[in-house]
Amino acid sequence: MSNHRFFVAICSLLLLVAGCGSVEETSNSKIEVIQTLQAYTGTEYVSEISKNNLPASDIVVVSWNACNFGRKKSPEVIVHMAQILRAADIVAIEEVSTSDFGAQAVAKLSDELNRTGAKWDYLVSDATHESPCKERFAFLWKTARVAAIPHKATLCSGLVNSMVREPASVKFEIDKKIWLMLVSFHLAPTAKHPEKEVSELPQHRQDFSDGNIVFVGDFNLSHDKLDGAFEQGLGAIHNIEGDTSLRAKDRGSAARSYLSKAYDNIYTKGRIRVDRSLIVDFVPQCGGLKQARTVSDHLPVAIVCNVQ
């Protein structure tokens, strides 16, 4: 049986056991690469993250809303997430549960990534201030090239009064010589007007004025509603073009009819050259939308970039 069929079988079993299946999958199983499909100028939909034909000095930065990341993520889902993320260098995870199960799930993901052939480290932020929308942010990275200095994920306290969920940031040192700040956002749900939150960002430009900065996350807005704040207000550039959230039900037979909104994005500022931007479509690997939503209701977004 091919590895691809093997994983489809696993996803089907996951549905039968409501995410608590006992089916085993080896941590180093390799998911079959599905042919890359082009869509949207500048951004590729891919089934696997790759730095092929790009400089070895490039790094891969990934952002993923992991959909209430915590107790409900079964061991099989954690294995699959690690396989999706294994080629990344730095990962930001949004929507981590504030319960102990959230931090435990991040630790399990880090452990699984460690089984893919590289050493990883991780951080989990404190909970954001607002209830009932509280959550944590997680950051994971390969230690061979990247270090978090200081070893801390910091909530952006200056935005507490501006946002339902203030973002979190980590400062990374790359190759022991280059600095990069990663700022992870999860803006308010659409019913709570995320456009008001983002409109206040330029007032805090002094907090994001120096050095290389990558802004990532689930913004609950398409980039045309974000660009004014990030591009004109903060001097950043958007890099992702395309729908990233998953519908509850597929709407037809057209290509990627299971996608809904272009809510996830990555903005870069400073001496950062983006060589490739990606949306990682794992739905075909799962055998369909229903199975894929046991992993997340969002696709990961990524950039392959050179930081100077």
pLDDT (average), residues 42-56:
92
pLDDT tens profile 294-307: 999 999 999 999 99
SS3 state of residue 124: strand
pLDDT at 8 over 50: no
Alpha-carbon gap, residue 78 to 113, rounded angstroms: 9
Q: Is residue 34 part of a domain?
A: no
pLDDT at 126 (0 to 100)? 97
| Banded model confidence at residue 3, pLDDT cuts 50, 70, 90 | very low
The per-residue pLDDT of the chain, averaged, comes to 88
- Phi then psi for 94, rounded to 5 degrees? -100, 160
Can you give the C-alpha Rg of the chain in angstroms? 18
Q: Is 74 in contact with 20 (CB distance < 8 Å)?
A: yes
Q: Which helix (H) or strand (E) holds 95?
A: strand 90-96
Q: Is residue 33 part of a domain?
A: no
pLDDT at 155 over 80: yes
Query: Poorest-confidence range of 5-14, 205-214, 278-287?
Result: 5-14
SS3 state of residue 162: coil
pLDDT at 42 (0 to 100)? 78
Q: What is the token pair recorded at 130?
A: 């607002």
Q: What is the token pair recorded at 285?
A: 């690997």
pLDDT at 11 over 80: no
Q: Is residue 146 part of a domain?
A: yes
Residues in Cβ contact with 161 at an 8 Å cutoff, skipping those fewer than 6 apart: none
Q: Is residue 26 part of a domain?
A: no
pLDDT at 288 over 90: yes
Q: Is residue 70 part of a domain?
A: yes
Q: How many domains does the chain have?
A: 1
Q: Is residue 166 part of a domain?
A: yes
Alpha-carbon gap, residue 238 to 248, rounded angstroms: 27
- What is the domain-level CATH number for residue 217? 3.60.10.10
Q: Is residue 294 part of a domain?
A: yes
pTM equals 0.87
pLDDT tens profile 217-247: 999 999 999 999 999 999 999 999 999 999 9
Domain residues for the domain of 99 are 3-19+45-307
SS3 state of residue 260: coil
| Banded model confidence at residue 254, pLDDT cuts 50, 70, 90 | confident
pLDDT tens profile 54-73: 999 999 999 999 999 999 99
Q: What is the token pair recorded at 212?
A: 């290389």
Phi-psi region of 287 (alpha: psi -120 to 50; beta: other; left: phi over 0): left
Share of the chain above pLDDT 90, in %: 82
pLDDT tens profile 76-126: 999 999 999 999 999 999 999 999 999 999 999 999 999 999 999 999 999
Residue type at position 181: M
pLDDT (average), residues 158-169:
95
pLDDT at 57 (0 to 100)? 96
The structure tokens 């980039």 sit at: 223
Residues in Cβ contact with 123 at an 8 Å cutoff, skipping those fewer than 6 apart: 138, 139, 148, 151, 152, 153, 170
pLDDT at 17 (0 to 100)? 34
Q: Which helix (H) or strand (E) holds 6?
A: helix 3-16
pLDDT at 212 over 60: yes
Q: What is the largest CA-CA distance in the chain?
A: 57
The structure tokens 């990663």 sit at: 182
Q: What is the token pair recorded at 95?
A: 């929507």
Q: Is residue 38 part of a domain?
A: no
Please tell me which residue, 15 or 60, carries the higher pLDDT value: 60
- Calculate the alpha carbon distances from 143 to 173, 280, 304 in Å: 10, 23, 17
- Phi then psi for 270, rounded to 5 degrees? 105, -155
Alpha-carbon gap, residue 236 to 266, rounded angstroms: 10
**Nearest 10 degrees: Cα torsion 139, 47, 264, 260:** -140
